[in-house]
């Protein structure tokens, strides 16, 4: 692999690692707030214990989130200096403000973590809400830079390739900022809700648990199902707007996502299959007639641009069709699962059967896969550009030697950290089971 490929591989892997922990970092504070609120409303000690245990798990993952965030924050400058040169002139604000948002989160997190026993309830609630706001703001601001790469704004390039007429706030509020920020935030909330659901469902499936534990985990899965249902629906509705944004600003990416070669009205939606460059079609796909046109413009006769509008060297890799399908497929499945559970449990008023719990165990990991697929789709679908129509990835990347060595070292590091975090989490919660806490509260 040449240096450019290695730089892309190293950066993509690092972000793929960071996003797992970052998403959890955005979502868990929301779950903790809900649990704290439930405790205030119902005075049920179970919710207090829940908030405490989620916080403990969060504290472990937070360390990896921050460490990996530091890695990507520095690596982006090291590996893509050509890109950062333009970022520094045009879209430095979100990166800068993000750090302040993060600091707020960090300061209030340590207050919540280390001083929780010493704080009165309102102050505790205020500190965890500040954590949630800080985390969401962090994510939204970083996403802003990403949105700007997809829909660059707020500057011009002169003939010498110099940046002129900079307007930092136009860049900040670029056309795709709002939709993308919402999509990232609600998908993070949905993911963490399903992760909590996974853990609770796995516990409930155990035959050995006590009645007390069963009640505790049922409360936790209930929260997970409701938040998961709301957030997954929000993700899909907003994802639809995101696709319309692509139709308007980046039709090349939408064409690649759908494997559409010819520009057409009444374009069908291809679900599944894979895109064949030779046959210029998506093979083995299920076609839903007119659906793509309708998705893109809310009308069946919307004209959707095909890949052939562009020279072939500007096509993104065509496998992004699969990434897109994975994301949308997972979204659809999880909406189905959570709403079916609500219907079953609260309309039919029946207990959730084992097979449904088993499905919920898979929900959390699936959501994580959805996040990974979505990001990889968005970043790879932008190729060969780093800043759409402005800067090619090959001009953005570093010319340093030694990227290969670093790639090997970082991949090793991520593998070790993944294993160690799981081991630490398991060992921590094995040594601090919920049962004694529930007994202690004396209900």
Partner 1 sequence: MEESLLAVAILWSILFLYSITGSMDFGAGFWGMVYGKRKDSTASKIANRFLSPTWEVTNVFLVLFVVSLVAFFPFAAGMLATVLLLPVGLGLILLTIRTTFMVFEGKTERFKDLLRITSGVTGLVLPALLVSILPITLGGFIAFEEGYPQLLYGKLLSSVTVYMHIAFGLSTALFLSALFLADYAREAGDETAYHTYRRHAIWLGPLSLIIAVLTIFTMPEEASWIVENFRENMYGFGMSVTLFLIGYVLLFVKRPNGDVGYSRLSVVFVVLQYGFAIYAYGSAHLPYMVYPHLTIEEGFTNPTMFNQLLIAYIIGLCILVPAFILHWKLFLKDKRYLKQD
Q: Tell me which residues touch ligand HEM (CB under 6 A).
A: 8, 11-12, 15-16, 18-19, 22, 25-26, 62, 65-66, 69-70, 72-73, 76, 80, 83, 99, 102, 105, 135, 138-139, 142-143, 145-146, 184, 372, 375-376, 379-380, 382-383, 386, 393, 396
**Contact in structure between 236 and 191 (CB atoms under 8 Å):** no
How far, CA to CA in Å, does 57 sit from each of 28, 226, 264, 424? Answer: 9, 21, 50, 10
Give the one residue of 11, 255, 410, 434 binding partner 1; rule: CB under 8 A: 410
At 392 the three-state DSSP class reads strand
Give the one residue of 20, 22, 24, 75 binding partner 1; rule: CB under 8 A: 75
In the region spanning residues 362 to 391, those forming contacts with ligand HDD, defined by CB under 6 A, are 367, 370-371, 374-375, 378, 381
Give Dmax over CA atoms of the chain in angstroms: 75
Q: Does 43 bind partner 1 (CB under 8 A)?
A: no
- The residue (of 190 and 357) whose beta carbon lies closer to ligand HDD is 190
Q: What DSSP letter does each residue of 399-423 carry, written as one string?
A: --S-HHHHHHHHHHHHHHHHHHHHH
The neighbour count for residue 360, using CB atoms within 10 Å, is 27
Residue 337 partner contact from ligand HDD, ligand HEM, partner 1, none using kind-dependent CB cut-offs of 5 to 8 Å: none
Give the one residue of 5, 33, 93, 333 binding partner 1; rule: CB under 8 A: 93
Window 103-142: contact mask with partner 1 (x via CB under 8 A): xx-xxxxxx--xx--x------------------------
**Rounded CA separation 158/172 (Å):** 21
With both helix axes pointing from N to C terminus, report the angle between 211-249 and 3-42 in degrees, rounded to the nearest 10: 130
Give the one residue of 130, 187, 198, 270 binding ligand HDD; rule: CB under 6 A: 187
Q: Does 286 bind partner 1 (CB under 8 A)?
A: no
In the region spanning residues 386 to 405, those forming contacts with partner 1, defined by CB under 8 A, are 398-403, 405
Q: Does 408 bind partner 1 (CB under 8 A)?
A: no
- What is the closest distance, in whole angstroms, from the C-beta atom of residue 225 to ligand HDD in the complex? 16
The neighbour count for residue 94, using CB atoms within 10 Å, is 23
- What is the closest distance, in whole angstroms, from the C-beta atom of residue 393 to ligand HEM in the complex? 4
Q: Does 90 bind partner 1 (CB under 8 A)?
A: yes
Q: Does 239 bind ligand HDD (CB under 6 A)?
A: yes
- What is the closest distance, in whole angstroms, from the C-beta atom of residue 380 to partner 1 in the complex? 23
How far, CA to CA in Å, does 355 sit from each of 70, 223, 224, 352, 360? Answer: 41, 19, 17, 8, 9
Q: Does 318 bind ligand HDD (CB under 6 A)?
A: no
- What is the closest distance, in whole angstroms, from the C-beta atom of residue 235 to ligand HDD in the complex? 5
**Rounded CA separation 269/256 (Å):** 12
Give the closest residue to 248 by CA, choosing from 291, 201, 302: 302
Q: Which residue bears the tokens 């641009």?
A: 305
User: Residue 306 phi/psi, 5° resolution?
Assistant: -100, 170
Query: Cis omega before residue 221 (within 30°)?
Result: no
Helix spans in 259-402 (H): 291-297, 320-342, 354-380, 393-396
**Rounded CA separation 154/169 (Å):** 7
In the region spanning residues 116 to 155, those forming contacts with ligand HDD, defined by CB under 6 A, are 150
Q: Which residues sit at the interface with partner 1, rule CB under 8 A?
A: 59-60, 62-64, 66-71, 73-75, 77-79, 81-82, 84-90, 92-93, 95-100, 102-104, 106-111, 114-115, 118, 163, 166-169, 398-403, 405-406, 409-410, 413, 417, 420-421, 424, 427-428, 431
Q: Which residues sit at the interface with ligand HDD, rule CB under 6 A?
A: 150, 176, 180, 183-184, 187, 190-191, 235-236, 239-240, 242-243, 246, 253, 327-328, 330-332, 367, 370-371, 374-375, 378, 381
């Amino acid at each position: 692999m040449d240096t450019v490929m290695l730089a892309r591989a190293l950066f993509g892997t690092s972000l793929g690692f960071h996003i797992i922990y970052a998403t959890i970092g955005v979502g868990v504070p929301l779950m903790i707030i809900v649990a704290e609120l439930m405790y205030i409303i119902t005075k049920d000690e179970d919710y207090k214990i829940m908030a405490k245990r989620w916080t403990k798990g969060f504290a472990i993952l937070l360390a990896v989130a921050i460490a990996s965030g530091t890695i990507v924050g520095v690596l982006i400058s090291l590996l893509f200096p050509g890109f950062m040169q333009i970022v520094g002139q045009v879209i430095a604000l979100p990166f800068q403000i993000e750090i302040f948002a993060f600091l707020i989160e960090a300061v209030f997190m340590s207050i919540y973590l280390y001083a929780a026993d010493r704080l009165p309830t309102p102050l505790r609630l205020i500190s965890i809400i500040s954590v949630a706001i800080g985390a969401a703001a962090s994510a939204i601001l970083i996403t802003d830079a990403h949105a700007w790469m997809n829909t660059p704004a707020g500057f011009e390039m002169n003939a010498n390739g110099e940046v002129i007429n900079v307007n930092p706030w136009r860049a900040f509020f670029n056309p795709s900022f709002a939709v993308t920020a919402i999509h990232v935030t609600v998908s993070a909330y949905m993911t963490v809700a399903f992760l909590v659901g996974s853990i609770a469902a796995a516990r409930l499936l155990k035959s050995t648990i006590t009645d007390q534990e069963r009640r505790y985990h049922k409360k936790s899965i209930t929260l997970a199902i409701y938040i998961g249902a709301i957030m997954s629906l929000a993700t899909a509705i907003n994802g639809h707007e995101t696709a319309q944004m692509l139709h308007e600003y980046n039709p090349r990416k939408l064409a690649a996502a759908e494997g559409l070669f010819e520009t057409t009205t009444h374009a069908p939606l291809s679900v599944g299959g894979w895109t064949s460059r030779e046959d210029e079609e998506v093979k083995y796909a299920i076609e839903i007639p007119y659906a793509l046109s309708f998705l893109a413009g809310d009308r069946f006769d919307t004209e959707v641009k095909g890949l052939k509008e562009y020279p072939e060297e500007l096509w993104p890799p065509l496998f992004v069709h699969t990434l897109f399908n994975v994301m949308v497929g997972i979204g659809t499945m999880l909406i189905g699962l959570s709403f079916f559970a609500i219907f079953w449990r609260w309309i039919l008023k029946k207990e959730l059967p084992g097979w449904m719990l088993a499905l919920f165990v898979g929900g959390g990991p699936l959501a994580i896969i959805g996040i990974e697929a979505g990001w990889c789709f968005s970043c790879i679908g932008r190729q060969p550009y780093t800043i759409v129509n402005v800067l090619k990835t090959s001009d953005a990347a570093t010319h340093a030697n030694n990227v290969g060595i670093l790639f090997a070292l970082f991949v090793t590091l991520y593998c070790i950290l993944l294993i160690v975090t799981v081991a630490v989490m398991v060992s921590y919660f094995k040594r601090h089971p919920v049962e004694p806490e529930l007994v202690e509260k004396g209900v």
